[in-house]
Amino acid sequence: MALDQETRDQLISSIERFVRERLRPNEELVSETDTVPDDIVQEMRELGLFGLTIPPEYGGLGLTMEEEVLVCIELGKTSPAFRSVFGTNVGIGSQGIVMFGREDQKEYWLPKLATGEVVASFALTEPEAGSDAASLRTTAIADGDEYVINGTKRYITNANKAGLFTLMARTDPDNKGAGGISAFIVDASLPGITLGKPEKKMGQQGAHICDVVFEDCRIPKSALLGSEEGKGFKAAMQVLDRGRLHISGICVGVAERLLQDSVEYAAERKQFGQRIGDFQLVQGMLADSRTESYAGRCMVLDAAKRRDAGENVSADASCCKYFCSEMVGRVADRAVQVYGGAGYVSDYGVERFYRDVRIFRIYEGTSQVQQLVIARDLLRSVS
């Protein structure tokens, strides 16, 4: 159920203040140390950020998709690495349990995820299965009261802090496609799970990814998400549908932040005896960034509202992710151009955002995967 207007406004303004007063002043520190300080993580817990989308009966705020997007836009106005601290608990790590979990699974895990006591990671991608997620090779073979897991998951966000993995693995080795895949909730402390080295990334320092290797890891049969095998791929796709709207909201927030910074710089920086914002070629860049970020805001809020109303917005979520992630790339590129040499060096953090936003066009489905989902949906409607 949606929050009443006053509660929603309070939530948005407390997040806006937290971003402005606590996160923005620490952007450089996080980037340099590759770590979000513990006191900030604790404040995120106290603000309820880990439980934004977990239903209130399990200790979260139970935000609607529209509310989540509004929150994402505010959270986007600082380094995306901050969002990653709780992003998997809000999105892809927890939503499988929220949408498809049995009551006992919800009761056990969701309150811990809502407080941030446990961090959840989403383990789908593998060395040989990125965009072609349905070809994954990790196996979960039934053996008495247990499943035995073997395989490697790659680039798993927050794996180094995870208390649980929402894991997609093949329960039917004879079915090489989507129908052979099941989803599991795996306790990360079980024997047979090891982590790879943290990857060195292009951007978003402070957010971590690494391999997760399962070697004869035995999990109880009760760890199957829901109660039926073979439903894991569809569950993952539905989790990603929601995740794609979440990421789109973040992209809009980052674009709005970079536009604001660019406008302030253009109003202050002087060349040829006047502020650079008076030059029409600079104005053109600012106008393009405003137009595009406004378009992104409108489309993601529209798709979110229609999802809340019960519509299937799977293809629209892909339209949003495709447009917003490409859009923020262009906005970041223009921001560097408006700042000129000052944008290329690290003083203003613009080059850091330029690197940070690059991943938005890749994770939770590349732009090319979004195009494929969108086009298939169009063609399905005429066949």
Residue 369 interacts with ligand COS (CB under 6 A)?
yes
Residue 96 interacts with ligand COS (CB under 6 A)?
no
Residue 12 interacts with ligand COS (CB under 6 A)?
no
Question: CA torsion 151→130→355→291, rounded to 10°?
Answer: -140
Q: Which of residues 194-233 bind ligand COS (CB under 6 A)?
A: 233
Rounded distance between C-alpha atoms, residue 98 and residue 121, angstroms: 14
Helices (H) and strands (E) counted in the chain, each on its own, are: 13, 9
Residue 350 near residue 258 (C-beta atoms within 8 A): yes
Place of tokens 């760890």: 223
CB of 105 to ligand COS, least distance (A): 20
Residue 184 interacts with ligand COS (CB under 6 A)?
no
Among 27, 241, 316, 356, binds ligand COS (CB under 6 A): 241
β-partners of residue 195 are: 212
DSSP 19: I
Residue 129 interacts with ligand COS (CB under 6 A)?
no
Per CB under 6 A, which region of 72-80, 212-220, 270-278, 358-366 contacts ligand COS?
358-366
Residue 296 interacts with ligand COS (CB under 6 A)?
no
Residue 363 interacts with ligand COS (CB under 6 A)?
yes
Residue 141 interacts with ligand COS (CB under 6 A)?
no
According to DSSP, the β-strands at 146-157 and 139-143 are: antiparallel
Cα 330 → chain centroid: 20
At position 281, the amino acid (one-letter code) is L
Closer of 242 and 297 to ligand COS (Cβ): 242
Among 12, 47, 178, 342, binds ligand COS (CB under 6 A): 178
CB of 64 to ligand COS, least distance (A): 19
Burial, 301: exposed, middle or buried (Cβ in 10 Å; 0-12, 13-18, 19+)? buried
CB of 376 to ligand COS, least distance (A): 7
Residue 134 interacts with ligand COS (CB under 6 A)?
yes
CB of 122 to ligand COS, least distance (A): 6
Place of tokens 């099941």: 182
At position 350, the amino acid (one-letter code) is V
Residue 365 interacts with ligand COS (CB under 6 A)?
yes
CA distances from 165 to 15, 93, 94 (A): 28, 7, 9
Residues forming the active site:
364
Residue 47 interacts with ligand COS (CB under 6 A)?
no
DSSP element (H, E) containing 105: helix 103-115
- Judged by the rule CB under 6 A, the positions of this chain that interact with ligand COS are 122, 124-125, 131-134, 178-179, 233-234, 237-238, 240-241, 314, 363-365, 369, 372-373
